[in-house]
């Protein structure tokens, strides 16, 4: 990594950026969250709305966000401030940067708890505690984990400690190396699980659930959730991709890289869905069982397939890697902010930001432990943080980023940065009109404001 004059380093190549950005995009969102959200929100119809959101809203915003980052070359708040000033636009645009720092911080607090679950499962798989389990036992193992705050605390703490350690080491060393191996391995692993799923009796039922849309299941809420998930899964609307863009060499085509990243991200989510739902239906489990879905269903697949405990161990190890490369991206905006504005070293910034995140994570841990007893407006602590971030803050950040990229940044600049050729017009329509209007309408409608 070579140091640029602007504090931060640079990716060594286009492929290094694609790998790092895919590492940020591919995470628990694809493997854990996408399946349970689609299980809760009506299957095929949700998948369709999700894909429409990725193409119509996510992709143009990803390009805008990366472009803003490369143009600004600083942490999100300072980038937005500098570019706004350059374009004689009000300083208010900085809000997008602030939203991102706070959202990333909040998300990581619960993300780490769930990543901790996958570490606990890895441990169980390696130890052979998951050989030959039936649906009731699988359910019980998950319930036991939720009911053991001390065990969860150990894994949550370990995950945060590892995240801090990688962050302290800096960019290329930490992120690039892990992700380069992880992505192809994860694809292969999911492919093996998909092949296994095809041999189960519930395969067609699973496929029908996933791919046959029942439009009566679409509600304003489920559209909001699908859109929030598109932001979450692509890692958009919060400055992560912006900061990764700041480390991006000038000669890389943002347009093409964004398309590749979005395709890889959506493919992993769909492959996870194909692996999970046939197993769910084969074992007569309810698809709408919520955040425990993969933890209660996948062990059943592993316990029945040949070499299941080996596959299971490798799988949960990969989930852990996928989670940690996203965790790094979630907190990077905060760290860049602390190093730039307070002259903290990377080490100090990492310890402070991750330490605070760890503390907040205790709230999520407790919300799973108390079985949803404490609620505020019908939501547990975890659900509140998830809702406020994925369904409100990321879309709001997304509107600002899209509008800023489309309206404030000069056309000449965006043409040069994105390198989309004749497709530039579509990007402009997306960022100037479709993304901000669609996101605003969906948000207002689902929040009951119109
Ligand atoms: N995209 C990550 C996932 O799907 C989470 C994430 C969100 C990462 C926002 C960075 C920014 O798990």
pLDDT in tens, 350-370: 999 999 999 999 999 999 988
Report whether 443 contacts 392 (CB < 8 A).
yes
113/93 Cα distance (integer angstroms): 32
How many Å lie between the centroid of ligand 1 and the Cα of residue 19?
14
Centre of ligand 1 from the C-alpha of residue 283, in Å? 30
* Residue of 28, 163, 326 best suited for mutating to test ligand 1, as the one with most atoms within 8 Å of CB: 326
Residue indicated by tokens 């395969």: 203
Q: Which residues of 266-286 are buried (b: 16+ CB within 10 A; e: fewer)?
A: bebbbbbbbbbbbbbbbbebe
Using a 10 angstrom Cβ sphere, with 0-12 exposed, 13-18 middle and 19 or more buried, the burial of residue 415 is middle
Q: Write the pLDDT tens digit of every residue in 292-347.
A: 999 999 999 899 888 888 889 999 999 998 999 999 999 999 998 999 999 899 99
**Using only C-alpha atoms, what is the Rg of the chain?**
21
DSSP secondary structure code for residue 215 in this structure? G
pLDDT value at residue 316: 94
Residue 28 has pLDDT above 90, yes or no: yes
Measured from the CA of 322, which atom of ligand 1 is nearest?
12
Give the count of alpha carbons within 13 A of 424, CB side only: 16
3-class DSSP assignment, residue 376: strand
**Reported confidence tier of residue 12, pLDDT bands at 50, 70, 90:** confident
Q: Is residue 249 very low, low, confident or very high in pLDDT (cuts 50, 70, 90)?
A: confident
Exposure string of 39-64, with b = 16+ CB inside 10 Å and e = fewer, is bbbbbbbbbebbbbbbebbbbbbbbb
Looking at the domain assignment, is residue 213 inside a domain?
yes
What SS3 state is found at 128?
Answer: coil
Please tell me the predicted confidence (pLDDT) of residue 5. Answer: 39
Q: What pLDDT, on a 0 to 100 scale, did the predictor assign at position 350?
A: 95
Alpha-carbon distance 372 to 193, whole Å?
32
pLDDT (mean) for 120-138: 89
**Could you count the other beta carbons within 10 Å of the beta carbon of residue 416?**
12
CA of 280 to the centre of ligand 1 (A): 25
The pLDDT assigned to 2 comes to: 34
User: 229 alpha carbon to ligand 1 midpoint, in Å?
Assistant: 9
Residue 14 has pLDDT above 90, yes or no: no
In this model, does residue 104 exceed pLDDT 50? yes
Q: What is the pLDDT of residue 4?
A: 40
In a domain, 96, yes or no: yes
Cβ neighbours of residue 234 closer than 8 Å, sequence gap 6 or more = 25, 54, 58, 62, 241, 261, 262, 265
Which pLDDT belongs to residue 140?
93
> Whose C-alpha lies nearest to ligand 1, atom 11?
235
Q: What is the mean pLDDT of residues 382-403?
A: 94
The pLDDT of residue 262 is 97
DSSP code at position 4: P
pLDDT of residue 378: 86
| pLDDT value, residue 174 | 62
Decide if pLDDT at 173 tops 70: no
- CA 102 to chain centroid: 15
27, 101, 331: residue to mutate for ligand 1 pocket, most atoms within 8 A of CB: 27
What is the Å distance from ligand 1's center to 217 Cα? 26
The SS3 assignment for 48 reads helix
User: What's the pLDDT tens digit per position in 208-232?
Assistant: 999 999 999 999 999 999 999 999 9
For 429-440, what is the mean pLDDT?
94
Give the pLDDT score at 172: 58
Residues in the ligand 1 pocket, defined by CB under 6 Å = 24-25, 27-30, 107, 232-233, 235, 238, 240, 326, 329-330
CB 281 within 8 A of CB 208: no
Hunting for tokens 């689609």 — which residue is that? 38
Is 3's pLDDT higher than 60?
no
Distance 7 CA to ligand 1 centre (A): 24
CA of 233 to the centre of ligand 1 (A): 5
Average pLDDT over residues 369-387: 88
- Angle of helix 149-169 versus helix 346-369 axis, rounded to 10: 160
> Which of 106, 186, 330 has the most ligand 1 atoms within 8 A of CB, as the residue to mutate?
330
CA-to-CA distance for 255 and 77, rounded, in angstroms? 23
Going from the Cα of 54 to the center of ligand 1, the distance in angstroms, rounded, reads 14
Alpha carbon distances (Å) from 3 to 14, 249, 256, 423: 17, 12, 25, 33
The answer to whether position 209 is within a domain reads yes
CA–CA dist 435, 398 (Å, integer): 8
* Predicted local confidence at residue 433, as pLDDT: 94
Kindly state the tokens that stand for 260: 């590749």
The atom of ligand 1 lying closest to the CA of 30 is: 4
Q: Which of 24, 244, 324 to mutate to test the pocket of ligand 1 (most atoms within 8 A of CB)?
A: 24
Is 1 a residue whose pLDDT tops 50?
A: no
| Confidence at residue 430, expressed as pLDDT on a 0 to 100 scale | 94
Closest by Cα among 391, 386, 361, 390 to 112: 361
Using the atom order of ligand 1, give the atom closest to the CA of residue 28.
Answer: 12
Helix %, strand %, coil % for the chain, to 5?
A: 80, 0, 20
Q: Are 261 and 21 in contact (CB under 8 A)?
A: yes
User: What percent of the chain shows pLDDT beyond 70?
Assistant: 97
In the reported structure, the alpha carbon of residue 24 is separated from the centroid of ligand 1 by a whole-number distance in angstroms of 6
Instruction: For residue 266, report the distance from its CA to the centre of ligand 1, in Å.
Output: 13
User: What is the number of domains present in the chain?
Assistant: 1
Site to probe by mutation for ligand 1, drawn from 22, 243, 328, 329 as the one with most ligand atoms within 8 Å of Cβ, is 329
Q: What is the pTM of this model?
A: 0.93
- What mean pLDDT, rounded, does the chain reach? 91
In a domain, 6, yes or no: no
CB count in 10 Å sphere of residue 340: 18
Which protein residue has the closest C-alpha to ligand 1 atom 9?
Answer: 235
Q: Where in the sequence is the domain holding 225, given as residue range(s)? A: 14-446
Specify the residue with its C-alpha closest to ligand 1, atom 10: 235
Question: Is position 9 within any domain?
Answer: no
Interval between CA 5 and ligand 1 midpoint (Å): 28
- Over residues 190-205, the mean pLDDT reads 95
Give Cα 108 distance to the centre of its chain: 10
- The domain that contains 45 carries what CATH number? 1.20.1730
Q: At a CB cut-off of 8 Å and minimum separation 6, what does 355 contact?
A: 160, 164
Structure tokens given for 146: 């939720």
* Whether pLDDT at 37 is above 50: yes
> Which range, of 126-130, 254-258, 354-358, 435-439, averages the lowest pLDDT?
126-130
**Which two tokens mark 38?**
């689609």
Q: Distance between CA atoms of 81 and 84, rounded to whole angstroms?
A: 5
What is the predicted pLDDT for the residue at 176? 76
């Amino acid at each position: 990594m070579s140091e640029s004059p602007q504090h931060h380093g640079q990716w060594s190549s286009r492929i290094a950026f694609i790998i790092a950005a895919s590492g940020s995009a591919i995470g628990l969102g694809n493997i854990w969250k996408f399946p349970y959200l689609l299980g809760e929100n009506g299957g095929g119809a949700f998948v369709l709305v999700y894909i429409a959101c990725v193409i119509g809203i996510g992709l143009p915003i990803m390009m805008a966000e990366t472009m803003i980052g490369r143009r600004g070359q600083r942490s999100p708040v300072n980038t937005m401030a500098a570019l706004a000033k350059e374009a004689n636009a009000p300083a208010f645009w900085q809000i997008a940067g602030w939203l991102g720092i706070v959202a990333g911080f909040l998300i990581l607090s619960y993300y780490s708890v769930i990543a901790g679950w996958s570490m606990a499962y890895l441990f169980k798989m390696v130890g052979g505690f998951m050989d030959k389990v039936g649906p009731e036992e699988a359910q019980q193992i998950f319930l036991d984990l939720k009911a053991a705050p001390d065990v969860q605390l150990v894994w949550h703490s370990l995950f945060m400690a590892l995240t801090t350690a990688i962050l302290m080491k800096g960019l290329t060393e930490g992120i690039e190396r892990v992700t380069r191996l992880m992505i192809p391995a994860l694809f292969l692993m999911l492919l093996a699980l998909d092949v296994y799923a095809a041999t189960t009796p519930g395969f067609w039922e699973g496929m029908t659930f996933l791919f046959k849309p029942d439009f009566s299941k679409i509600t304003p809420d489920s559209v909001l959730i699908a859109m929030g998930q598109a932001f979450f899964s692509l890692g958009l609307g919060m400055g992560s991709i912006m900061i990764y863009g700041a480390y991006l060499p000038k000669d890389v085509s943002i347009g093409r890289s964004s398309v590749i990243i979005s395709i890889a991200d959506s493919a992993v989510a769909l492959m996870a869905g194909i692996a999970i739902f046939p197993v769910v239906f084969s074992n007569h489990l309810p698809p709408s069982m919520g955040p425990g879905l993969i933890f209660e269903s996948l062990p059943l697949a592993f316990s029945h397939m040949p070499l299941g405990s080996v596959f299971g161990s490798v799988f949960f190890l990969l989930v852990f890697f996928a989670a940690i490369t996203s965790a790094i991206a979630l907190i990077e905006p905060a760290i860049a902010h602390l190093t730039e504005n307070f002259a903290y070293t990377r080490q100090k910034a990492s310890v402070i930001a991750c330490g605070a995140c760890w503390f907040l994570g205790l709230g999520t841990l407790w919300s799973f432990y108390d079985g949803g007893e404490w609620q505020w407006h019908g939501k547990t602590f975890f659900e509140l943080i998830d809702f406020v971030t994925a369904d409100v803050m990321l879309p709001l950040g997304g509107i600002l980023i899209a509008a800023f990229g489309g309206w404030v940044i000069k056309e000449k600049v965006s043409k040069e940065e994105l390198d989309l050729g004749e497709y530039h017009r579509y990007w402009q329509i997306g960022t100037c009109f479709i993304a901000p209007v669609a996101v605003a309408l969906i948000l207002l409608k689902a929040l009951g404001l119109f």
